[in-house]
Amino acid sequence: MRKIPPALVLAVGLTLAVAVSPALAGSAVNQVTNAGNDPYAACTVNAGGIVYDRSEVEPFGSINPTDPNNIITVFQQDRWSNGGAHGLAAGVSRDGGSSWSVVPLPFSSCAAGTPADLQYEAASDPWVSFGPGTAADPKHGATAYAVSISFNESAGRNGNTVGAAVSSDGGATWTHAQTMHADAQSGVPIPVDDTNFRFFHDKESVTADPKQPGEAYAVWDMLIGPNANESSDLHSGSFTDDTLFTRTTDFGATWSPVRVINTSIHSTTNKNQTIGNVIVVDPRTGTLYNFFNQIFNTGSNSGGAHGDNAAFQRSTDGGLTWSAPQVISTMDDIGVADPNNVSPTTNKAPAPFRVGDGLPMPAVDPETGDLYAVWEDSRFSGQDEVAITRSTDGGATWSAPKRVSTPGGPAFTPTVAVTDSGSAGQAGTVGVTYYQLGATSPGSSPTTFFIKRLSATAAGDSSSVDTGVAATTVLGPFNMLDAPFAGGYFTGDYEGLVATGSGASASFDPVVVAGACGVALTCRALTSVVSPTNRAATGNDSTNLFVGTGF
């Protein structure tokens, strides 16, 4: 995430109790990764920072629409301190999450079989989405689409691109690995050459069309600096940014030339950008909605639009044309830090967490088309908590943002999904997951991952869902200080949440990274997280990926 970080909020006086309900009947949490299934354990590629072997971060997930027992999760494996990871990997289950295999994804030079045009030092921002049909049989089976940001970051190198690959066998093998391309019409530099420091592609996602076999949509932003030092460009505020889009109509064998769909104009384009672009598709109409953070640093402040804004744009023709961006709400996110612990870069308080601030996450109800967005927001209490809004008219109007997370410590990195009611016009249940920080002390940052289930009405009206709806623990508490450090203690800029089933039996499957040793520090990724700190890697199995089912 290349956005300039906002000021951090201090988690002071975290003594308020959080109302928690017991785990739901029939729910379970299964571990996907462990110390023995790191596919890049032997990789020696040097990306110029500290690599935290055996750490997994930033997961996402998808469920096969033709076989609900087939779940794919994707994640970063062996996180670098300076960005990205040794590579991306997939966790694959064929029995509804009870057991898992881990396979490498062909997006970096650490992964065997990666094609020449994706032989980069690091990969980041994993995303996966299942869609109907396969190239061999468009009427049966399913295809999984995965994407990455692949890049070099050792001294003097800035090569980067967006990669894609597909699987037609439930995630066991991946084919058609390739970099995205542009053409003369758009002139977008992709892939970017190692010696070109003006451009960097960031925060991509992919969404399979739920109704059209073989079709999937990828979207991301590209930062554009005026000279040969991107970091200096960003910190001086001298940059522009384009939002880019491509699609496949042949099950990922090819992707259309990349097109610009948003230049972030706000009087001018200078110093404005998007980040966190994510598409959801209304299966009733085929309308595409691209949600993102629209960041304005110049132009009029009418409506208080400067800073982070949850926004979207729509397409009714499969992404060929797009509406102008529409702001939903400001996002008053300020980040999260622990005042009772220290930063390993300064040896002084606070200890920063790298979280999902500035990244709105969307969902669409498959039976009503209602739209939802969640994000981190400090407007309710002065610290980041989880806000939600709902639209029942295709985004023309939105409910007033309200707090979802139960009052207590900072709540962060939210995700939203909606179940299928099984009846046309009848709304499903809304699920929201998030981390929440507990009472901290030196060497201890206890963090719990929660889910709340809301009715569609409650998600969009003025009723209380922060204190009126109890949170259910998915897992935790675990010690956030066990996590790798990459601009902050880091489990991911996002986590995953998948709705599965329909009608009364529908439920949610949370996809989450957590510390491997509970509240203990025995699994920490860093040699020392208390003063005097030491960022050197321990090689411990510090974080792992978990998937909940039946929530």
**CA dist 244 → 284, 296, 314, 393, 506 (Å):** 25, 18, 14, 26, 34
Would you state the pLDDT for residue 237? 61
- The helix/strand/coil state of 118 is helix
Residue 513 pLDDT greater than 90, yes or no: yes
Residue 38 pLDDT greater than 60, yes or no: yes
**H or E segment at 203?**
strand 199-208
> What phi and psi values does residue 436 have, to the nearest 5 degrees?
-140, 135
Confidence of residue 373 (pLDDT cuts 50, 70, 90): very high
Rounded Cα distance between 79 and 541, Å, is 12
Q: Are the C-beta atoms of 482 and 452 separated by less than 8 Å? A: no
Query: For 55-66, what is each residue's pLDDT tens digit?
Result: 999 999 999 999
For 71-330, CATH gives 2.115.10
Across 293-307, average pLDDT: 87
- The helix/strand/coil state of 227 is coil
DSSP symbol at 533: P
Would you state the pLDDT for residue 487? 97
Confidence of residue 23 (pLDDT cuts 50, 70, 90): low
Question: Which one has a higher pLDDT value, 235 or 501?
Answer: 501
Would you state the pLDDT for residue 236? 58
**H or E segment at 371?**
strand 371-377
Q: Are the C-beta atoms of 272 and 338 separated by less than 8 Å? A: no
Across 165-180, average pLDDT: 98
> What phi and psi values does residue 176 have, to the nearest 5 degrees?
55, 35
Across 6-10, average pLDDT: 31
Across 258-270, average pLDDT: 92
Rounded Cα distance between 92 and 71, Å, is 6
Would you state the pLDDT for residue 235? 57
Across 421-425, average pLDDT: 97
* Bridge pairing between strands 489-490 and 351-354: parallel
Would you state the pLDDT for residue 299? 83
> What's the half-sphere exposure (Cβ side, CA atoms, 13 Å) at 512?
31
SS (H, E, C) 185-202: CCCCCCCECCCCCCEEEE
Confidence of residue 40 (pLDDT cuts 50, 70, 90): very high
Residue 228 pLDDT greater than 80, yes or no: no
Tokens of 531: 């003063």
Mean pLDDT of the chain: 93
Residue 355 pLDDT greater than 70, yes or no: yes
Confidence of residue 300 (pLDDT cuts 50, 70, 90): confident
Query: For 384-421, what is each residue's pLDDT tens digit?
Result: 999 999 999 999 999 999 999 999 999 999 999 999 99
> What phi and psi values does residue 234 have, to the nearest 5 degrees?
-65, -45
Would you state the pLDDT for residue 15? 31
Spell out the domain ranges in the chain: 1-31+336-551, 71-330
Q: Are the C-beta atoms of 39 and 102 separated by less than 8 Å? A: yes
Tokens of 401: 């943002």
Whether the bond between 5 and the residue before it is cis, its omega within 30 degrees of 0, is no
Give the residues across from 350 on adjacent strands.
none
